[in-house]
Amino acid sequence: MMTAGFMIAGGLGSVLRFWLGNLISSRLQGAPFPVSIMLINILGSFMLGIFTSFNMQNQMLSIIIGTGFFGGFTTFSTFSVEAVQLLAEKRLKAGAAYILITMICCIGGFWAGSLL
């Protein structure tokens, strides 16, 4: 039961990330770096902060939603690829800004969410 729930939650998170990423990208064309993944990761971190603040007693549900859904919704691997691509293209300022803004805002977003 937990495996199926985990797979469904991860799939839903991934589909939502794909849909939202395309929506953001279509509206913010020409940005200096990949804004869609950055915003999704910040939003996901913030929502995970809110979710973890509930201190759920149901460990199975906590894993399914916390790791499954939010793990599928956010994506550190895509962030890493995009950061390396910016640096490889010698877009050092854009790459550094992308890395710093993403990391600071994701951690800050999680913290802010956990305080709500």
104-111 own/partner pairs: CB under 8 Å, 24+ apart: 105/38, 105/42, 105/45, 106/41, 106/42, 106/45, 107/45, 109/42, 109/43, 109/45, 109/46, 109/49, 110/45, 110/46, 110/48, 110/49, 111/49
71 labeled binding residue: yes
95 labeled binding residue: no
- Most distant CA atoms of the chain, gap in Å: 48
Annotated binding site for Na(+): 71, 74
Annotated binding site: 71, 74
